[in-house]
Amino acid sequence: MISIVKRILKISGKYKKNVILGLIFSGLKSFFASLMLLAVLLIMINLEQLNMTIIMQATAIVVVSIFGRFIFQYLCDRKLSASGYEIFKDKRIEIGEKLKKAPMGYFSEKNLGTIQAVLTTTISDLEGMAMLAMNFIVGGFFHAFSMTTMLLIFCFPVGMVSLIAIIFGMGVLKLIAKKTEKYSPIMQDSQEMLVTDAIEYIRGISVLRSFEKGTDGKNKVEKAFMSKCKVDIEVTEGSAYLMKLYEMIFKVASCVLVFVAIILYMKSLIPLSYTLMFIVSAFLIFMELELVNDGAFLSRMLATQLNRLDYVSDIPSLDEGGKEIDLNSYDIELKDVCFGYGEREILKNINLQIKSNSSLAIVGASGSGKTTLCNIIARFWDVNKGEVFIGGHNVKDFTSESLLQNISMVFQKVYLFNDTIENNVKFGNPNATHDEVVEACKKACCHDFITSLSDGYGTVVGEGGSTLSGGEKQRISIARAILKDAPIIILDEATSSVDPENEHMLISAINELTRNKTLISIAHRLSTVRGADQIIVIDKGEIVQQGNHKELISQDGVYKHFIEIRKQSIGWKI
Ligand SMILES: Nc1ncnc2c1ncn2[C@@H]1O[C@H](COP(=O)(O)OP(=O)(O)OP(=O)(O)O)[C@@H](O)[C@H]1O
């Protein structure tokens, strides 16, 4: 319980002072609430000679208690809730920044589920619950301790009953915390599985429907729902008896307190007024402590969410030790590069030099490692062995941002954000003016189709660009790269056959993009391969042939074989 308060304070960063202030206000609120006991005492002690002065004094204490409680509750809420929103806003930004610098290997299916869960449910839950739980915990204990102190001053045995009950209560809360620790990973896993399966279902819904298996994916999601429900019930049942035990301690303590007060009165050890006061206080003292039970329930959920937040906050960064490097040359060199996804080796001893402003075409069978090689150059992944240099600097010496500002990547699979076309293009250069956006779009042959849309450049494309055709999306992504104007272009040529008009526009857009740049292309069109300064043929992760078209076509090898086969296929044009 207290550990939850400590953990929340730890992640509070620059808002820690405000959170502590909020907790002090919470304590003061409880102190003012406990002043009620003094008013009760004053009336009880003077029950037999009650006069206007005593009534006024008691009323004044009640008024101070109510107003004090009200004011400090207000201040506490303001400080704590505002801090809660600020802390978790910063956390979201911090995680977003870290994701930008994480190696691609981090984004495995499992991690995607966790990241989604953290950025949506985890942080929202923490925003809503973290401060509330701390308020319950700190306020509840402060209230009980200040009332207990008063009781100890008035009558030591009665105060001791209260103190022992609080100590027992804290013991049970510790047990609840232990249970939480045990259940936390199970809850976390079931939640992540649910998010991952639900996302997969939504993403793959068109495939599921086209294969008339709309319910198959749903069954998987339903199973994840069932499993989450089962885990939740198990967790609730597992600690429900402890929660009840916690409540029971204070109910029993209230009865014992009344009993002790009556015994002491019967033995003439305390006056009737004290006895009455203790009977009244027996029901007031633990009132707020019972709220701590809600705090315990909340902190059980918080512990799970904080663990998940810790997991995502520990995202590895490619930027460690990286510097902002300005390049004079854009020569690229790979020296003895080996790489594998996990244990599986994909690239083997790659040695390659690409001169500034020259073009390299990569050809090879599907799965041979062409995309992987491009990803290594952009340092989406770190090599297992060997080194990658750009402009004479090892890519590991750059910060991600300073490395990637030199590279534009145009993928086959284009992703557009759910935003206006203008903002999607501007993504390549956020400071670009509208005129610069239009110019880039003209070069990328997409200006005409954009202006034919009802909202022109202000047209909002659906998530992933779902409202545009494949060719339109591709040309917008090229306009984005033209606007970025990076000196190195990595291009994955479209394999899908496009209609002649679209293909013509696409080629023209690519020519505009790649003029006077260092170009690395995963080439599918024969004209691209033929025109390249250098061609490499990759087979099972190794460079098996290297040279220009003239040199390679004269050799009996994979390249010649490829060309012959490809010449016959539709996608290749001479
Ligand atoms: N993120 C990944 N995790 C694990 N294995 C991967 C990952 N990406 C690719 N692979 C595997 O690495 C191998 C090389 O893939 P890569 O995408 O580089 O091939 P490619 O030559 O570009 O293929 P294609 O022409 O079909 O796009 C493939 O066997 C692929 O299954």
Tokens of 25: 């206000």
Work out which ligand 1 atom sits closest to the CA atom of 104.
Answer: 1
Residue ID of nearest Cα to ligand 1 atom 13: 367
Residues in the chain: 574
178-192, 283-297, 483-497: least confidently modelled range: 283-297
Asked which of 279, 313, 347 is the last residue of a domain, the reply is: 313
Instruction: Mark whether 372 and 227 lie in a shared domain.
Output: no
Q: Are residues 39 and 169 in the same domain?
A: yes
| pLDDT in the model for residue 352 | 93
Q: Which of 58-67, 95-104, 486-495, 503-512 holds the top average pLDDT?
A: 58-67
- Residue 17 binned pLDDT confidence (cut-offs 50, 70, 90): very high
Answer yes or no: is pLDDT of 115 > 70: yes
pLDDT for the residue 11: 84
Which of 260, 290, 313 delimits the end of a domain? Answer: 313
Q: Count H helices, E strands: the chain?
A: 21, 10
Position in ligand 1 atom list of the atom nearest CA 373: 18
Amino acid identity at 118: V
Cβ pair 416, 477 in contact under 8 A: yes
pLDDT at 30: 85
Does the pLDDT of residue 199 top 90, yes or no?
no
Complex prediction ipTM:
0.97
Euclidean distance between CA atoms 354 and 141, whole angstroms: 69
Residue 574 pLDDT class (50, 70, 90 cuts):
very low
What is the Cα–Cα distance from 465 to 173, expressed in whole angstroms?
51
Instruction: Assess contact for 25 and 75: CB atoms under 8 A.
Output: yes
Q: Are residues 147 and 281 in the same domain?
A: yes
Asked if residues 76 and 29 have their Cβ atoms less than 8 Å apart, the reply is yes
Same domain, 253 and 370: no
For residue 255, being part of any structural domain is answered with yes
Same domain, 93 and 192: yes
- Give the rounded distance of the alpha carbon of 371 from its chain centre: 27
Mean pLDDT score, 530-547: 90
- Would the CB of 111 count as within 6 Å of ligand 1? no
Residue 372 CB–ligand 1 contact under 6 Å: yes
Count of structural domains, the chain:
3
pLDDT the model gives residue 212:
60
Please name the residues in contact with 401: beta carbons below 8 A apart, sequence gap of 6 or more: 100, 324
Dist CA 61 CA 377 (whole Å): 74
The pLDDT value recorded for residue 571 is 46
Mean pLDDT (the chain) is 83
Q: Tell how far the Cα of 241 is from the centroid of ligand 1, in angstroms.
A: 52
- CB 516 less than 6 A from any atom of ligand 1: no
What was the pLDDT predicted at 235? 78
- Where would I find the H helices in 346-444? 370-377, 400-404, 421-426, 434-443
- 369 found inside a domain: yes
pLDDT (average), residues 183-199: 77
Four-CA torsion 514, 517, 519, 525, nearest 10 degrees: 30
- Residue 573 reports pLDDT greater than 50: no
Whether residue 245 is found in the same domain as residue 306: yes
% of residues, the chain, pLDDT over 90: 20
Output the CA 120–ligand 1 centroid distance in Å. 30
Same domain as 250, residue 294? yes
- Domain coverage including residue 396: 323-406+487-574
Q: Is residue 412 part of a domain?
A: no
Q: What does DSSP assign to residue 533? A: S
Question: 411 in a domain, yes or no?
Answer: no
Using the predicted structure, report yes or no on whether residue 94 has a pLDDT greater than 60: yes
- Compute the average pLDDT of residues 241-270: 88
In a domain, 413, yes or no: no
Task: Kindly give, in sequence order, each residue whose CB lies less than 8 Å from that of residue 541, ignoring residues fewer than 6 positions away.
Answer: 345, 346, 347, 348, 368, 369, 372
| Per-residue model confidence (pLDDT) at position 1 | 63
Span of 47-51, 53-57, 265-269 with lowest mean pLDDT: 47-51
Q: Residue range 545-550: average pLDDT?
A: 90
**How far does the centroid of ligand 1 lie from the alpha carbon of residue 369, in Å?**
6
Q: For position 354, which CATH number holds?
A: 3.40.50.300
Q: How far is the CA of 312 from the centre of ligand 1 (A)?
A: 26
Residues 77-88, mean pLDDT to the nearest whole number: 87
Better-predicted residue by pLDDT, 102 or 497? 102
pLDDT tier at 214 (50, 70, 90 boundaries)? low
Domain with residue 271: its CATH number is: 1.20.1560.10
The residue whose C-alpha atom lies closest to atom 6 belonging to ligand 1 is 341
Let me know if residue 470 belongs to a domain: yes
pLDDT at 365 over 80: yes
Of 107-121, 125-139, 244-258, least confident by mean pLDDT is: 107-121
pLDDT category at 295 given cuts 50, 70, 90 is low
d(CA 166, CA 470): 67
Q: What is the pLDDT of residues 343-355, one digit of tens each?
A: 889 999 999 999 9
- Res 331 pLDDT > 90: yes
Q: Which residues of 6-20 are buried (b: 16+ CB within 10 A; e: fewer)?
A: ebbeebbeebeebbe
Query: Is 261 found in the same domain as 390?
Result: no
Q: Give yes or no: residues 179 and 242 share one domain.
A: yes
- Ligand 1 atom closest to the CA of 369, numbered from 1: 18
One domain for residues 219 and 308:
yes
Q: How far is 347 from 384, CA to CA, in rounded Å?
A: 10
Tell me which of 312 and 453 has the higher pLDDT.
453
Structure tokens that stand for 345 in this block: 């080796």
pLDDT of residue 59: 93
* Model confidence band, residue 500 (pLDDT cutoffs 50, 70, 90): low
Asked whether residue 171 carries a pLDDT value surpassing 50, the answer given is yes
Tokens encoding 35: 């002043």
Residue 257 counted as domain residue:
yes
pLDDT of residue 570: 46
Residues 185 and 329 in one domain: no
**pLDDT greater than 70 at residue 416:** yes
Q: With 50 as the cut, is the pLDDT of residue 497 above it? A: no
Q: Determine the average pLDDT of the residues in 55-62.
A: 92
Residue whose CA is closest, atom 9 of ligand 1?
372
Instruction: Let me know whether 370 and 495 are in one domain.
Output: yes
Quote the CA–CA distance of 85 and 561 in Å, as a whole number: 62
Give the end of a domain, one of 286, 313, 340.
313
